[in-house]
Amino acid sequence: MQPDRITPLIPLLKNSVFDLLILNPGPGMLYLTGLHFHLMERPTLLLVALGGKTAMILPELEKSKVLGQLPGLACYTYGDNPASWQGAINDAFQHFCPKANAIGVESMRMRHLELNYIQGALPLAIVQSADLLLNTLRIRKDAAEVALMRQAVAIAEGAFLKTITSIQPGMTERAIASELTINMLRLGSDAELPFPPIVAAGPNSADPHAVPTESPIQAGDLIVIDWGAAYQGYFSDLTRTVAVGKLDPELYTIYEAVLNANEAGRSAAKPGIPAGDVDRAGRKIIAAAGYGQFFTHRMGHGLGMEAHEEPYIYGENEQLLIPGNVFTVEPGIYLPGKGGVRIEDNVLITESGAESLSTMTRELITIPCP
């Protein structure tokens, strides 16, 4: 077990309502143990009890992986016959923590499958979200985590710069997204990306979460490209908007407004201020330009082992930013039927201010047309 992750958890667990924390595969389990597991039909559970006592319930075939990395971790295993799983899980809980009354789980990760087994083993226990407890640890990135995120940003930026040299009119959105993905993998990204790249051209760029299509790009298009790389489990998440040839004058206008809003959001970021101040700083710029109704999402979101995590950057969020927070600043303007612009950077709160981990140009890049 990683003492630098479990040790800070012990007092938080002691001061919480929980006497047992149960995590299934996902960022929480990875954060605490360094172990990568996929959600599948066989349940895998990490148990953390008061005092930091830990164990895992998992398929027999996975035991060697755990003991190879964490030889001191107690493992309770089961075989291939699903009819035997509840009994094996019951035995594990009876041995490890038979009197748990309050169980904490990750609310967006715990499935009905695992919950049924847990309730079968501990029918009187109350199961509640432990998201706040876990976020207290994960929201503050340490130097090692920041270093991994810097590398994820570097991979993403390198892949983008390589990809745009190959973009030309007639290429499809899907072809550009594929090329970008290949370049990230070649530059060292983990195979499991934070999310599939968004490449949206022309009117499609007015959809903030568009899915790449077979639509070819053409002169006069804006192309919103939103992508991220992963490095040893940590993510980057960037967006740049490029032009194909000469644009309609209004598209240049909204690009300038978004560029200024991005700068305002990054400049506002510092420790001790509400997260909402970052949103309001950028949103004010876009509203003053006359496009406030076309900025339809929050300014950003936290980033780390998930593409979206705490802190969330929206106007009403009074949560104070602290050193070690990493989040996106990504203002946008989206004109239905015409086109959209988004410029997204990854920002680290430092002891004295903020640093953009992404350094690639934010100025409009134009793809030449023959």
Residue the block writes with tokens 């600043």: 329
**Number of residues in the chain:** 370
* Topology of the domain covering 143-367: Creatine Amidinohydrolase (3.90.230)
d(CA 363, CA 259): 8
CA distance 138 to 5: 9
- Determine the pLDDT at residue 362: 98
- 200 phi/psi in degrees, rounded to 5: -135, 120
- Residue 71: predicted pLDDT: 87
Phi, psi of 10 (to 5 degrees): -60, -50
Rounded Cα gap, residues 328 and 98, in angstroms:
43
pTM, two decimals, is 0.94
Q: Which residues contact 364 (CB under 8 A, 6 or more apart)?
A: 241, 242, 243, 252, 255, 259
Rounded Cα gap, residues 19 and 85, in angstroms: 24
Superfamily the domain 3-138 falls into: Creatinase/prolidase N-terminal domain (3.40.350.10)
Give the neighbor-by-neighbor strand order of the sheet with 238-244. Answer: 198-201, 222-227, 238-244, 365-367
The token duo for 324 is 């070690």
> Each residue's pLDDT tens digit in the chain (370 positions)?
454 799 999 999 999 999 999 999 999 999 999 999 999 999 999 999 999 999 999 999 999 999 888 888 999 999 999 999 999 999 999 999 998 999 999 999 999 999 999 999 999 999 999 999 999 999 999 999 999 999 999 999 999 999 999 999 999 999 999 999 999 999 999 999 999 999 999 999 999 999 999 999 999 999 999 999 999 999 999 999 999 999 999 999 999 999 999 999 999 999 999 999 999 999 999 999 999 999 999 999 999 999 999 999 999 999 999 999 999 999 999 999 999 999 999 999 999 999 999 999 999 999 998 7
The continuous run of DSSP H or E covering 136 comes out as helix 131-138
**In the chain, domain spans:** 3-138, 143-367
- The pLDDT assigned to 1 comes to 45
Per-residue H/E/C for 50-86: HHHCEEEEEEHHHHHHHHHHCCCCEEEEECCCHHHHH
